[in-house]
Amino acid sequence: MSGQPLHEALRCAEYIAGGLQKTDRSAAVLCDDTVHIPLPLRPAGNAEACRKALAGVESGGSTALFDGWQAGANLLEGKTAGTISRVLLLSDSQAHHGLCDEQEIRRHCARRAAQGVSTNGRRHELLRPNG
């Protein structure tokens, strides 16, 4: 992901982060051929902190979509009562690197869905347990 799509993804992440409640928690995960977590899971509602964490993000190589999704899901372990936790996965939504088998990805997603982790987004049909 590069150029205007990357710019829009970063702008949307900042907008979403600014709209969350202070009692919520949020994180941002970026994936190209490796996974980066510029914004670890922490109290939400601070668009400026999100903007600073994502400043300087540049386009990378191939997309390790599953690896990024899994890193985000791992951040959600250890739920805090009374909060909603959200992870923004910034990606071009293409599985080019790492685990790419859609059936296997769906099996992993089904296990996480049973634990209360849901996925929404541009290619959410891939990252949902029942596709």
pLDDT digits (tens, 9 = 90+) for 22-41: 888 888 898 888 898 988 98
pLDDT band (50, 70, 90) for residue 117: confident
Q: Does the pLDDT at position 131 exceed 80?
A: no
CA distance 113 to 131: 12
Alpha-carbon span 129 to 126, nearest angstrom? 8
Per-residue model confidence as pLDDT tens digits over 4-17? 777 887 888 888 88
Q: What pTM, to 2 d.p., does this model score?
A: 0.80
Average pLDDT across the chain, whole number: 81
H helix runs in 20-101, sequence order: 47-54, 65-75
Domain ranges of the chain: 3-94
Question: What pLDDT sits at residue 70?
Answer: 94
Cα–Cα distance, 128 to 40 (Å, whole number): 23
Instruction: Output the CA–CA distances (angstroms, integers) from residue 1 to 48, 94, 112, in the order listed.
Output: 23, 10, 26
pLDDT of residue 102: 84
Q: What is the DSSP letter of 90?
A: E
Strand positions, DSSP E, 62-102? 85-90
Number of other CB atoms surrounding residue 89 within 10 Å: 22
